[in-house]
Amino acid sequence: MASVVYKDEHIEILCDSGLCYIRSIKPGLSLDMFRQIHGSRLPNVRITNPQAVIQAIEHAPAGPELFGEEQARVNIRISEDSMKACLTLRIEEGNMAPQLHSSLQNEIRDALHKAGIVFGIKTELLNGPLESKTEYTIAEGLPVKNGEDSKIKLYEVAPPKPEIIESGSVNYYELNLINQVKQGDWLGERRDATLGLPGRDVLGREIPPVPGEQIPLAYDHISVREEYTDGMTTLYSKKDGAVYYKGDTIGVYDFLEIKGDIDFSTGNIDFNGFLSVKGTVKDNFAALADKDVEILSEYGVGAADKIISREGNIYIKGGISGKGKTLIRCKKNLYVKYLSDIDVECEGSVLVGFYCMNSNIRAKQVIVESPKGRIIGGQIYADICVSAAEIGSRSEARTLIRVKGFDRAGIQSELQKISALLKEKKDAMTRMRNELQSFSSPHGDLKKGRDDLRGRMADLTYAIKELEYQYKNLNDFLKTPGEGAIMAKKRLYPRVKIDIKGIGEEIFYESGMITYAYSGNELTIL
């Protein structure tokens, strides 16, 4: 049965089963007057048919006409995630008086109870003044605090980067090639992932946290040990050696340190790891190793027999004057203060600090790095480029420089292939990391499946780094002008013969800064 919720001499408002009707009794009520009545006396009535109101007022007497719907006096709205509840009052002004506040509080509490809100209710808001048609946040849940991933810090192995120091009459060529450690030295650490703290929504339901990911700590168990204390796993070296990485796996490779010289007291050295010689390699003696080799004497090397790294780099701090007897061979790069009267076979780049004199060199690139650097005499065969401040000499020493050159389009195509392969392998790594989470907690014994997966991940990471190394090298090659270049950054002297991709030119006159590049099937001068 309809009930009258408002009546005056002009209109009557009736509500029945949540629907509201307007009946006009006599003319004389304007629309503005109706709006005032609606705002102050009928705040819980939502108008759904404004035209019915206009018709009833303008054609009084008329109706009753359906014009709206009745809303709750106390409206509670819960957010989708149930972490917040909002309160809106639709109560006429007379019922908002301070003396009625206690009754209003009870009405709000009843509405909260019916909505199931039991947690995070803001009692201070209930006790304070409230206004109709204003939305308040009446309850807030406790946000969940998800766990943090484990934090890993490992021994850093920086890529070799020579430093040239020219100080008066003394020049230095510094490089940290081998990362030497002693037994018991720190190699890395991992702070355990945290479980997080649960939250609670306004309905009182507990929200479980997402535990942090326990990132695998990959290391070579033969050369590295771990200690676990108070949530921290710390890695230590089991032996003296040189730090290396295979993918993400840290290990300590065999390391041989010769405190003095390689001479009659040591004999020739051929080692299956990293080799560091604090002194020099005496005339007619040899230093060979599988990994990186460094010769640290400030005075360099004389007429040694040979210095070879089968898989790594070579660093000769003091330079080398081979007297036409010495061979240097390395898989990666050669870093040397100077070269004189020596043969070099290098599958990577030859990076010379100050000068290269009367030497025969084969390499990807030959770069003399000093602003005063020189190439004088000898024969240089490079795949990509040769660069020095000066090439040749005032005395017109015969100097032959040949650059094989490269196919720019072919390298760009190769870069695209490597890029696609990198994406494929990185996607595979993502899948493996997700799979890793399905194994048991790392606080217990690792399952065989987890060990196998970690081994495959280490191999894949190593493959990714090798591809990234290839990508970087190829990308660097593309920075070379044309498809092969010879660069004299300050001066080029007569009796230098240059050749790029089989196109040769004899230099008869001295010139300033000049670059020869192969472009468009011919030599061009830049």
Token pair belonging to 243: 């730090």
CA nearest to 22, candidates 12, 8, 10 = 12
Question: For residue range 187-196, what is the model confidence (pLDDT) as tens digits?
Answer: 999 999 999 9
Kindly state whether residues 355 and 503 are assigned to the same domain. Answer: yes
Shared-domain flag, residues 42 and 55: yes
Helix 408-436 and helix 448-477: axis angle, to 10°?
160
Q: Are residues 237 and 165 in the same domain?
A: yes
One domain, residues 486 and 400 = yes
- Residues above pLDDT 70, as percent of the chain: 94
On whether both 200 and 175 belong to a single domain, the answer is yes
Residue 173 in this model has a pLDDT that exceeds 80: no
3-state secondary structure at position 294: strand
- Range of the structural domain that residue 516 is part of: 295-407+481-525
Q: In this predicted model, what pLDDT tens digit does every residue of 436-482 receive, in sequence order?
A: 766 644 444 555 677 677 778 878 888 888 888 889 888 888 889 99
Average pLDDT of 358-366? 96
Cβ-in-10-Å burial (0-12, 13-18, 19+) of 215 comes to middle
Q: Give the mean pLDDT of the chain.
A: 88
Residue with tokens 């992932």: 193
Domain match, 245 and 383 both? no
Domain termination residue (choose one: 252, 267, 287): 252
Counting Cβ atoms within 10 Å, is residue 113 exposed (0-12), middle (13-18) or buried (19+)?
Answer: exposed
- What is the structure's pLDDT at 54? 87
CA distance 85 to 389: 74
- Does a structural domain hold residue 331? yes
Please report whether residue 370 resides in a domain: yes
Q: Is residue 514 part of a domain?
A: yes
66 and 82 fall within a common domain: no
The C-alpha angle 161, 163, 169, rounded to 5 degrees, equals 160
Structural domain total, the chain: 5
Q: What is the pLDDT of residues 257-267, one digit of tens each?
A: 898 999 999 89
Residues 413 and 452 in one domain: yes
225 confidence band (pLDDT: 50, 70, 90): very high
SS3 content of the chain, % helix, strand, coil (to 5): 20, 40, 40
Same structural domain for residues 216 and 179?
Answer: yes
pLDDT at position 512 is: 92
My answer on whether 340 and 421 are in the same domain is: no
**Cβ neighbours of residue 422 closer than 8 Å, sequence gap 6 or more:** 464, 467, 468, 471
**Is residue 272 a part of any domain in this protein?**
no
Instruction: Please give the DSSP secondary-structure letter assigned to residue 424.
Output: H
Please tell me the distance from the alpha carbon of residue 242 to that of residue 244, in angstroms, as a whole number. Answer: 6
**Is beta strand 135-140 parallel, antiparallel or unpaired with respect to 327-330?**
unpaired
User: Same domain, yes or no, for 232 and 99?
Assistant: no
Average pLDDT over residues 420-442: 78
What confidence tier does 359 reach under pLDDT thresholds 50, 70, 90? very high
In Å, how far are 52, 285, 305, 316 from 265, measured between CA atoms?
113, 11, 16, 21
Which of 89-103, 120-134, 366-380 is predicted most confidently? Answer: 366-380
Domain boundary among 113, 140, 167: 140
Last residue of a domain, one of 194, 224, 252: 252
User: Does residue 506 fall inside a structural domain?
Assistant: yes
Q: Quick one: 244 and 337 in the same domain?
A: no
pLDDT, one tens digit per residue, over 50-97 is 898 888 888 889 888 888 888 888 888 999 999 999 998 887 766 666
HSE (CB half, 13 Å, CA atoms) of 144? 19
- Say if 31 falls within a structural domain: yes
Positive or negative, the Cα torsion across 59, 62, 67, 69?
A: positive
Q: What is the pLDDT of residue 36?
A: 81
Round to whole Å and give the CA distance between 131 and 138: 13
Q: How many CB atoms lie within 10 A of CB 288?
A: 18
* Structure confidence at residue 297 (pLDDT): 93
Domain assignment of residue 521, yes or no: yes
Within-domain flag for 267: no
